[in-house]
Amino acid sequence: MKLRTIPIALVTTGVLLGSGLGPATAAPPTTLAGPNIPVSAVQADLAQLQSIATSNGGNRAHGRPGYLASVNWVKSKLDAAGFTTRVQSFTSNGATGYNLIADWPGGDLNNVVMLGGHLDSVSAGPGINDNGTGSAGLLEVALAVRSSGFQPTKHLRFAWWGAEELGLIGSTYYVNSLSTTDRSRIDAYLNFDMIGSPNPGYFVYSASGQPSGSLQLQQTLQGYFGSIGVPTELTSVGGRSDHAAFARAGIPVGGTFTGAEGIKTSAQAQKWGGSAGVAFDRCYHRSCDTSSNVNATALDRNTDAIAHTLWTLAA
């Protein structure tokens, strides 16, 4: 997640569906959809990303060999599963960056559900929570599309963005490269950036101020967490992650987040567990953001939320 100097604005919602942004009756049903994604598989992916960083100077940052190695590894997994992949290159800060785009064959190409997260780390460390967690969760959900035999009505597209940490460069480049027609074909974009913070919160992107259609995404994610008994708070992520370019293009956006440098309050600790007065991620943008800097329960719940939302929106 791209650093900014002001804290994230939080809006607490005590009612999981119908948060004041729209009528509760408009919320989609909370019946579970989608497969359970084994957290052990996501953790194995994080171990691989850690190994890549360790072998490449300790990071997976834009313009560094660890980032390209990360792209190549994720691409190889998707290619083997039958996805149609392409690597989109761009230049930033005098170095070549890469976006990885993966399409699942079939579904209505005029109605695309797109999910993404950034694959790059900062140069200070391996970036396992930020954002190995979102990257690995998306990868396992994508692989589950194949293994489950899911046949979505809508077309599925996944993305792993480059140079997010330098200012959302990769995702912005991608959206700007689309024609007006291609933008109009994307029904929804869901972003997953930091989904396993060690002192986690359970935040859902607020639809307030976002393009029309974003409320459905917010409520679908809230509905999943409500169905497993986990309260959520709405967060105004603003321009802090890769959904921002899609929102500017008028595409409905949503996502989840478990917290970065913000401090967990006593009320949040009572609600979610963990430590009050401590950052959600004390290793945010630091060298200690390693594979030991991840809460397995938060990672598991958020990955299953990704699957649930994808199956709900695309079926």
Cα 240 versus chain centre, distance: 12
Q: Can you state the angle between helices 296-314 and 133-148, rounded to 10 degrees?
A: 50
In this structure, what token pair is assigned to residue 243?
A: 């959904």
User: Are the CB atoms for 227 and 32 separated by under 8 Å?
Assistant: yes
Q: What are phi and psi of 44, to 5 degrees?
A: -65, -40
Instruction: State whether the Cα torsion 223-224-228-232 is positive or negative.
Output: negative
Residues annotated as catalytic (active site), given as ranges? 164
Q: How far apart are CA 50 and CA 126, in angstroms?
A: 6
Buried/exposed code over 232-244 (b: 16+ C-beta within 10 A; e: otherwise): bbbbebbebbbbb
- In angstroms, the first-to-last Cα distance of the chain is 30
The neighbouring-strand residues paired with 256 are 192, 204
Task: Enter the DSSP assignment of 172.
Answer: H
In this structure, what token pair is assigned to residue 20?
A: 């004041």
> Looking at the chain, how many residues does it have?
315
Q: How far apart are CA 117 and CA 255, in angstroms?
A: 10
Q: What are phi and psi of 120, to 5 degrees?
A: -80, 155
